[in-house]
Amino acid sequence: MERRTAAERAERHAATLKRLERASGKLSTAAIARMDEQLSWYRNMPPEHRSWIGLVAQAGIAAFTEWFRHPEAPQAISTDVFGTAPRELTRAVTLRQTVEMIRTTIEVVEEAIDEVASPGGEDGLREAVLVYAREIAFATAQVYAQAAEARGAWDARLEALVVNSLLSGDADEGVLSRAAALGWGSPDRVMVVMGSAPAGDSELVVEAIRRAARHAKLHVLTGVLGARLVVVVGDGGKNPDRVFDPVPAARSLIGQFAAGPVVIGPIVGDLLSATRSAQAAAAGLRACAAWPDAPRPVLADDLLPERALAGDPAARQQLVEEIYTPLDEAGSALLDTLSVYLEQASSLEGAARMLFVHPNTVRYRLRRVTDVTGYAPSDVRSAFTLRIALALGRLQAT
């Protein structure tokens, strides 16, 4: 009895297989017609893409027929079902759309079970369709996962190339196009934040930076370059009048840096100008050891004297242009008063005696120094910066 039952099942299976082979073309045509009828995104696609999707549907039904031929050795559906279409199709067709395409094709096959199956073979064919639908779903997920991994790896290399170009000063129009391909939103307020990269997987570090940036509504391009973690930060706000404070913005990302100084380059107007911000941040990071009590993060401009002492020509020029030259143009009295005040250990009375003026005159002139330069001579840190600027200006004037 068991042998006879098994023989009957094999006979029904063989008959169903033959009918399925004959109906494959009809099922493929019906599936494509159903997609054209129900899926608006399919109707709106270019003819070339529609033809590729049609081939995928045909390959899926053909693979099911082949899979049904050997029920005694079931196996997962190969991702080769999708091999009839070019890899670029995964960019043109989203995962959701692919699921809709597969669902439509499976529905067409399910509706034809009673017609395709041999008498008594309906349940066997229906069960096979259910198992095949599960396997093809896994295969779909694998195809898109592989495509996402490939895109992720390519995007990471492209992003690192953009960041390295900005840091090396080789930025050109090609950098803009590559950044646009990465989703850079062209903000008009950009800065570079730089510090030590943490140990471990650099991809995890980059992803953590992106998550923090999304939470803070910032645009970022980032990369781990050697021992340094470099983040190009753009203001993600839509309101041009919104205040973009670089220190809070950097603090929202600082948790992803390793211990040690984190330096913020100056704000610039666009991505190409970020080279200047990157180079200032890099110079600040090199010079930060000379200011052990520097805040974290610290502005590169707050490290101008240390950068100048470390040999940064941009910092030296900035100190001369922003401090010495304006004081020189304001008249010799300000330069002389500031110089004497600093030499007299910041003593008003001592400076007044050396200059043969009243202490209130010295006080007034020092306020003028603050107005002209933005640095208060009575502040220890500002006095250090002013002293370095005076020395550099005098050296340049000789």
At 24, the pLDDT band (50, 70, 90 cuts) reads confident
First to last CA, the chain: 114
Strands 218-225 and 228-235, by their bridges, are antiparallel
pLDDT at 3 over 60: no
Give the CA dihedral 221, 224, 225, 226, nearest 10 degrees: 170
Of 13-17, 39-43, 240-244, least confident by mean pLDDT is: 240-244
**Nearest one of 101, 62, 103 to 81, comparing CA atoms:** 62
Look-up of token digits 């033809």: 51
pLDDT digits (tens, 9 = 90+) for 49-86: 788 888 878 888 887 888 788 766 555 454 455 554 55
Phi first, then psi: what are they for 257, rounded to 5°? -90, 155
pLDDT digits (tens, 9 = 90+) for 244-274: 889 999 999 998 899 999 999 999 988 888 8
CA distance 386 to 27: 83
pLDDT of residue 250: 93
At 90, the pLDDT band (50, 70, 90 cuts) reads low
pLDDT of residue 120: 82
pLDDT of residue 262: 96
pLDDT digits (tens, 9 = 90+) for 345-398: 888 899 899 999 999 999 999 999 999 999 999 999 999 999 999 999 999 887
CA distance 58 to 46: 19
CA distance 294 to 262: 10
**Nearest one of 270, 298, 274 to 284, comparing CA atoms:** 298
pLDDT digits (tens, 9 = 90+) for 115-142: 888 888 888 888 888 888 777 777 776 6
Look-up of token digits 């050697």: 226
CA distance 32 to 333: 88
pLDDT of residue 251: 94
Residue pair 189/203 in contact (Cβ under 8 Å)? The answer is no
Of 103-107, 189-193, 384-388, least confident by mean pLDDT is: 103-107
Q: What would the mean pLDDT of 325-354 be, rounded to a whole number?
A: 90
Longest CA span, the chain: 127
Sequence-ordered list of residues with C-beta below 8 angstroms from that of 189, at least 6 positions apart, any chain:
234, 235, 244, 267, 269
pLDDT of residue 316: 96
pLDDT digits (tens, 9 = 90+) for 91-104: 567 767 777 888 88
CA distance 148 to 27: 31
In what side-by-side order are the strands of the sheet with 298-299?
218-225, 228-235, 190-196, 262-264, 298-299
Q: Per the confidence metrics, is the pTM higher than 0.85?
A: no
pLDDT of residue 143: 63
Cα distances (angstroms) measured from residue 219 to each of 187, 243, 309: 8, 15, 33
Q: Which residue has better confidence, 179 or 221?
A: 221
pLDDT digits (tens, 9 = 90+) for 286-321: 999 999 999 999 999 999 999 999 999 999 999 999
**Nearest one of 9, 127, 12 to 64, comparing CA atoms:** 127
